[in-house]
Every structure is written in structure tokens, then in C-alpha cells.
Chains A and B, each alone.
Chain A
Amino acid sequence: MSKIIVLKCVGHNPKDFELDEAVAVQFGCIKDLFHSDFDAESKIVVDVPMKFNSYIIGRILEFCSSRASFSSDRAYWEQDFFHPCREPNQRKRKELIAIMEASEYLGMESLVELTTQSLANYLKGKNPLTIRSLWKVEGDLTAEEEAKALAMGVAKLGH
């Protein structure tokens, strides 16, 4: 008599994910559903916004199931999240940002914390020029303003 939650992803690759209880309780937005009275046999369908594609949801669910089972793979998963940020891997970083947003939407505090921390570790100590190229930000400070910022005690910009 277990309840089934279905995550419906639309977008490029529409896919439906079925979750069992152990995994679904990790999502803050779904946890409340378990406390309400409803027909045990019925399915609950949760629509995921279009911007979160099925690949991202799939990754999150893999993480959740490894946490739910408390397997030794958990360390591997955490390593996997932190690792991409040490390499200049653009694709992995974008994926990480997507996972972060999706987990925030779904209410998974621990995963949000993990992904945010790994992104912060990546940004730590980076040159502002790298940040600009990373996020296609226009460097619109004049030479004067840059000099002022440097004079305020910031370490050298470097090129």
C-alpha cells in the first residue's frame, strides 16, 4: 500500500519519474503530501516546470536514492559534485547550477547546500577577469574606478 509520486518533466525529453516513499520524503515540497489523507492506491502527479529538463531531475533522483539507501556510494556522489568545479569544465558547472536551482524548487536543503558550497569553492580566489569570461559579464569599470578599487586594498587584478 505504498504511495506513488510521479514527477512529470516536460521539455526536450519528456519523461515521467516514479518515486517511492524513501526518496520522495527528501523533497520538501512533496513531504507534506504524505501527511495528508488520501487514497493509498492513487498516484500524485507533480508537474515540474519546463526549465528543469529530465536529465537534471534524473541526476537529482540518483543522488536522493543513494542518500536514502545510505550506501557507501554517497561519498562518491558528494565527490562527484565537488569534483567538477576543480576542473575548468563548463558543462559540468552549468549542470551544477541547474541542479542547484532544481533542488531549490523541489525543496531539498541538503543538495542546495552541497551545490552552492561547491560553486563557492570554485569561485574562491578567482580573478575578476575569469569571472567576466565565465559569465559573459561586461567589464565596464573605467581604469580610474579599477584603480580606486585596487587602492582600497584589493590584491592585484592580474591579467
Chain B
Amino acid sequence: MLKHEFSRHETSQSSNLIPVDVLIDILTRVPAKSIARFRCVSKFWASSILRRRDFTDLFLTMSLTRPRLFFPIRSDGKLFLYSTHQPHNPDDDDDDDSSLVATPYHTSFPEYFPCDIYSPVCGLVLLQGCERKVRVVCNPATGEFLTLPKVLLKEKTKLITAQKKKEKIARMYLGYDPMSKQFKVLCMTTNFSPFDVRDNTHQVLTLESGKKPALGLSSMIVCFDIRSEKFSFINTKKDVEQGHYTYSFTLFNYKGRLGIYHEEDSCYQIGRIVFWVLEDAENHKWSKHIYKLCPLEWNLIRYSMFVGMAGTGEFVWSSSYKDSPNSFYLSFYSLESETFTKVNIQGFDELKQQHRFISTYLDYVENVKWLIFIYTNEDHEDSYFTPGNLTLFNYKGKLALQEDSSQDGLMFWVLEDAETHEWSKHIYELSALEKDMIIYTMFVGMTGTGTEMEEELRDMKAHKAYISMVDFVAEAQQGIPKLCPCGSITKETVDEEDTYDYLPGKRYFICKDFENDGLHFRQPWVTGVTEEVERLKLRVHEHEKLLRECEALKAQVAMLVKRVTELELLH
């Protein structure tokens, strides 16, 4: 256990550690790429600092004040993710807005990954499509990804080919509920029948720990509320869809309300910006806004794609294609001042192909919440990254992972030791008949009986007591320990294993019967001696003070004695 002490003496060469809460304050201001790198500093940093709930929450809050631009690019069948900070941000100190450099997120995806990416939600992106069977939620800031489990579809039996109705996953949407701080995935399935009647069903999957609109049918907007998990419909006004194709509409966020942007045909001589804002969702009332542009401004955005509205209240268009250096730019239009600003985005030169379509997403926040908490062992890793279905369940009070590969029968891993990340593998062979029974079903979990609840409660209490005991022992570890809580004496050792090149191993005051369960003392020599010295210094100071007072008292006493003798002599 590391001690968090702070030394104020500028001349001292000893411990340089700073309190954890101070460190967290500093780290929330560090960019997410550096945070991901700092996982390599030590186990304590990786587990106790960077994975703390309050740290990730605070980091997200800070990220929301400095949103970024997000550029996913498909090149050579692979996905590359770039980002840069969003200009005209009130928190930005830089005034240099004319050119920005996008930096890539170093994420290497396996080859089977899909590369269709949609709008990021609170730092996470959902990858699907490209005729890949697997769907993945990825966090570019931390480089982690999570394969979503297979969705149970109705009527998926061997007879399905005989029927004309086939249920297929149309699309998945990722949403975030800020109240419960949970990410949810909405999966839309459709049935294709010769009569073109869509019998849509949906399922919602909650990931760990907003309104999602989609422009569905021609005159209606479908809204899915993440919190209540319910659908609702909003009608659009007649003149919104009058004689226009649906693809020339883009939904965007107009200062917290729903907005529809209409891209006018370029055959108009004088350009205008036309958009509708939903004023009243219940009564389906929309307000129309038109901004006129001069020909020069119109030329700027004529062949650009509308991206959306930034948090700072500006409309953004993207030139979308990168044919040559300096050809990719964004145009920002401020509604208040009615002026345009052109910002070049560079940094994509390392991509091989020149003609690349670059999608742009606004208000991307970096989120360092970890998707995966426990390292799985090597044996397991191979199967983790295959497009299989992994399900977590409770195996008699321990965490277990079940993998949906019916070739070997029933296979699952149980977490034996959370600290050392040890898993045990269990395989139960099934007969062909049994395999058939479970092949098209979804693993649900393991049952527990009623008494298990009490047992669990007892376990929890015992566990809590154990944790507090470990805590007390850690607090008690001060100075140079002579006796360990277990009763045996401590001795000084040199750690032979932990040497670094030419430097000698570290010295420790270690319990004779030391066990790494948190209940024995293992004090680094340096810390122990420092603490001891500090304590002794204090005592010495106190004694010094006492002695000085004694001296003063002595003098007083001598004086008093003198006076008394004088008085005695008089009488």
C-alpha cells in the first residue's frame, strides 16, 4: 500500500508523493490520450486512481466544457479516428482559429470489426454494418472496445428459410441517460414481407452503467426516450416535406431543441439557410427560420455537407472530401453575428489514399470510463476477441463469464481471485441432443436458492469487516515496525527480485511470516525511516522546549531561594 504523504521541505530529497485528491484534480485537466498512457505507470494508478468513479465523472464534466470535433475515416477497409478541439469554444485560450490539426486516436481494431460509425454519444461510438456480424461499442479515448452480445431474434429456427418472413436487425442506436449514467443500445429489427408492411419490434440492452430521434417514415419523426424506454412520434409540418426528398433533411440539436435543416437545391441563385425548430413537442408545433446569404457565402457552403450546430451556437458545414492538402475545411456560421469563419483541418496526411470521405461529428466529449474492469487471463483472451457472445453471471457468489460456443459443450470461466486476476476454466461436455436443445437459445444465468440471500448478506458483512480490518492495518503501519499485527516480529530484508539494472533491490521491514493479504506489515525502508525520524524530531523539539523552560524555571527558583534566605536573615 502506498502512503500518501506530502513533504513541504524544499531541501528534502525524500518522498515526493502528492495526495490522491490533488492528483485527481490535476489529471482531469490532462487530455484523454495521456490518461490512457498513464495506465502504465503502476497498478495503483491504473486501478485506484484512473478507474475511480469520482475521477471518471469529474473528467467527463470537464470534457463537456471543452468539446471536440470527431472525424472517423474509412481507408483501406480500416477505420481511423481523429479529433481536434472545437474552435470558438469560450474556454479556449487560443485565438488561432484559421487552421487546426487533427490528431489520431491510436486504436488498432481487429480485422473483423465493422467500420460504419454513427454519431458518438458521450464519448462512446457504436460500430456496425459492413456486412460484419459483430457490433462493437468503442471508446476512442481509452482505446477499449466491447463486443455486444448477439441479439435474440424471434422465430430463429431451422424452419426460417421456408418462411418468407425473416426477422433481421435493421439498425442499432446508442444512447446515454445522464440521470442514471447508463449507456443503452436500442436494437431495431424488421420483418420483410412481400406486402412491405413493417412489423417493427425493438429491444433495449443496457450497458454498464437523451432522446434519440430517427427520421423514419416520410412525415413523422420517431423519438425514443432513453430513460423511460418508450417510443413517441412527432409530426412535421406539411411544407417541410413538400416535394423534397428525405435525404436532404438533417436533424440537429438547436440549443437543446430538435431542429431540421433543409438543404436547398443548388439551382437557386441566391442561397438561404432554412431550418425548422420544434417549439412544442406535444402539439407538434414547428417554427421556420430563414437566413439569407450573399453569393460569396453561399459559394462557401454550396458543396459542403451540413454537420450540425455546435454547443456555442454556430452552424457547421464540412467540405467532406480531402483531395489535396488544405482541401478539408469546416465552415462555421454564427447566427448572432451572421458571419462565416472558415477553418482548415489538417493532419490526415498519413492516410494513403488521397480522395477520402471524412465524416464530421460535433461536440465530442472524451470519456475515460473504462468498459472492461478486470483483466482476463491469456487463455481467455483469444476467445474474448472473437465474435462470440459473452455473458456475465453469478456463479455461487463469484463472477463468471459464459461463452456461447457450443462446439465444446458448456464452457465458462469463474473468477477465483480478483486481485491476481485468476480465472478457472470449466467445461461440461454435452451430448448432441443436449447441444441441439441449447443451440438457438440465449444463456440467461445461474439460479440461486432463497437461503443464498442470507448467505450473501453474511458474506457481505464478513467481507466488509475484512476490508475495514485491512484498512486499520494499513493505517497502523507507521515508522519502523517492530511487531506485526499477526504477532510475529519484523525484520529487514532486501528485495532481490525487484532490481532495476544496476540499482540494488529495495529494502523493506517485513513481517517474518508475511502473507500478501493486507494483514501483515511490509513497510518500505525509506518510508519507515522517514516517519520514525519525523516522530523523533518532534519529540526532540518538545524535549528541547521543556529543557529550556526548565532552565528558566531553575533561574527563577534560584532567585526565589535567594530572596527567601534574605528575608529569613532579616528576621
Interface residues of A (CB under 8 A from B): 11, 51-53, 56, 91, 94-95, 97-98, 100-101, 104, 112, 116-117, 119-120, 123-128, 131-132, 134-141, 144-146, 148-155, 157
With A and B bound together, what is the CA distance between A51 and B128 in angstroms?
A: 55
Chain B residue with minimal CB distance to A125? Answer: B34
CB distance from B117 to the nearest CB of A (A): 16
Is B106 an interface residue, CB under 8 A from the partner? yes
14 A-B pairs besides A138-B42, A154-B106 with CB distance below 8 A are A51-B8, A94-B10, A94-B16, A117-B29, A120-B30, A123-B27, A128-B40, A131-B41, A132-B41, A140-B43, A150-B40, A152-B143, A153-B142, A155-B33
Q: Once the chains bind, are A101 and B375 in contact (CB under 8 Å)?
A: no
Q: Which of B25, B26, B36, B108 has the most CB of A within 10 A?
A: B26
A83: shortest Cβ distance to chain B, in Å? 16
Contacts of B167 in A (CB 8 A): none
B107 at the interface (CB under 8 A from A): yes
What chain B residues lie within 8 Å of A127 (beta carbons)? 37
In whole angstroms, what is the CA distance A69 to B142 when docked? 45
Note all chain B residues with C-beta closer than 8 A to A141: 40, 42-43, 46
Question: What would be 11 A-B contacts, judged by CB atoms less than 8 Å apart?
Answer: A51-B8, A101-B19, A116-B26, A116-B29, A124-B31, A128-B38, A136-B15, A137-B41, A141-B46, A151-B108, A153-B106
Is B16 touching A98 in the complex (CB atoms < 8 A)? no
Most chain A CB inside 10 Å of its own CB: which residue of B28, B34, B43, B108 = B34
**B42:A123 contact, CB within 8 angstroms:** no
Q: Enumerate chain B residues within 8 angstroms of A98, measured Cβ to Cβ.
A: 8
Residues of A contacting B105 with CB < 8 Å?
153
Kindly list the 7 A-B residue pairs having the minimum CB-CB distance in the complex, ordered from nearest: A153-B143, A120-B29, A153-B107, A128-B40, A152-B143, A128-B41, A119-B26
**A-chain residues with CB within 8 Å of residue B15 when the two chains form the complex:** 136
Main SS of the interface on chain A? helix
B6 interface residue per 8 A CB criterion: yes
Do residues A148 and B43 form an inter-chain contact, with CB atoms below 8 A?
no
Whether A145 and B29, one on each chain, are in contact in the complex, defined by CB atoms closer than 8 angstroms, is no
Q: List residues of chain A with CB within 8 A of the CB of B22.
A: 97, 100-101, 104
Cα-based distance from A67 to B112 in the complex (angstroms): 58
> Footprint of A on B, CB under 8 Å?
2, 6, 8, 10, 15-19, 22, 25-31, 33-34, 36-46, 105-108, 142-144, 375, 378
Main secondary structure, interface of B, reads: loop
- Given the complex of chains A and B, what is the CA–CA distance between A97 and B25 in angstroms? 11
A140 and B108 CA atoms in complex are apart in Å by 26
In the complex, the answer to whether B6 meets A91 with C-beta atoms within 8 Å is no
The reply to whether A145 and B375 contact each other, CB–CB distance below 8 Å, is yes
Total residue contacts A-B, CB cutoff 8 A:
106
Task: Verify A116–B6 contact, CB threshold 8 A.
Answer: no
Considering the chains assembled together, what is the distance between the CA atoms of A137 and B41 in angstroms?
Answer: 8
Report whether A154 and B27 are in contact in the complex, using a CB–CB cutoff of 8 Å.
no
Q: Within the assembled complex, what's the spacing in Å between the Cα atoms of A85 and B46?
A: 24
Kindly provide the distance from the CB of B44 to the nearest chain A CB, expressed in whole angstroms.
7
Q: Which residues of A contact B31 (CB under 8 A)?
A: 124
CB pair B41 A120 closer than 8 Å: no
Asked whether B37 lies within 8 Å of A128 as measured between CB atoms, the reply is yes
With A137-B44, A149-B46 known as contacts, the answer to whether A97 contacts B34 (CB < 8 A) is: no
State the CA gap A139–B330 with chains docked (Å).
44
Q: Do the beta carbons of B45 and A137 come within 8 Å of each other?
A: yes
Q: How far is it, in angstroms, between the C-alpha of A123 and the C-alpha of B25 when the chains are bound? A: 12
Once bound together, how far apart are the Cα atoms of A123 and B28, in whole Å?
11
Measured between alpha carbons, how far is A145 from B381 in the docked complex, in Å?
12
Q: CA A93 – CA B2 in complex, angstroms?
A: 21
B198 CB, min distance to chain A CBs, angstroms: 39
* From A112, A120, A125, A149, contact of B40 by CB (8 A): A149
Complex Cα spacing A55 to B275, Å: 60
Q: List the A side residues contacting B33 at CB < 8 Å.
A: 155
| Choice from A134, A140, A144 contacting B16 with Cβ under 8 Å | A134
Q: Chain A residues with Cβ under 8 A from B30's Cβ?
A: 120, 123-124
With a CB–CB cut-off of 8 A, which chain A residues contact B10?
91, 94-95
Closest to B39 in A: A149
- CA separation between A91 and B11, bound complex, in Å? 8
Collect the chain A residues with CB atoms within 8 Å of residue B43's CB: 140-141, 145
CA distance A135 to B375 in the complex (A): 26
C-alpha spacing A150/B39, complex, angstroms: 9
Candidates A91, A100, A126, A137; contact of B34 at CB < 8 Å: A126
**Closest chain B CB from A127 CB (angstroms):** 8
**Once bound together, how far apart are the Cα atoms of A141 and B18, in whole Å?**
21
B17 touches A135 (CB 8 A): yes
Cα of A136 to Cα of B40 in the assembled complex, Å: 14
A97 to B, closest residue via Cβ: B18
Query: Quick check: A154 and B143 within 8 Å, CB to CB?
Result: yes
Known: A101-B6, A136-B16. A123 touches B34 (CB 8 A): yes
The complex places the Cα of A98 from the Cα of B12 at a distance, in Å, of 14
Chain B residues within an 8 Å CB radius of A135: 16-18
* B375: nearest chain-A partner, CB-CB: A148
Q: Which residues of B contact A120 (CB under 8 A)?
A: 26-30
Of B2, B37, B42, B375, which is in contact with the most chain A CB atoms at under 10 Å from its CB? B37
Q: Nearest A residue to B7 by beta-carbon distance? A: A94
Q: Chain A residues with Cβ under 8 A from B18's Cβ?
A: 97, 135
CB-defined contacts of A97 to chain B, threshold 8 Å: 6, 18, 22
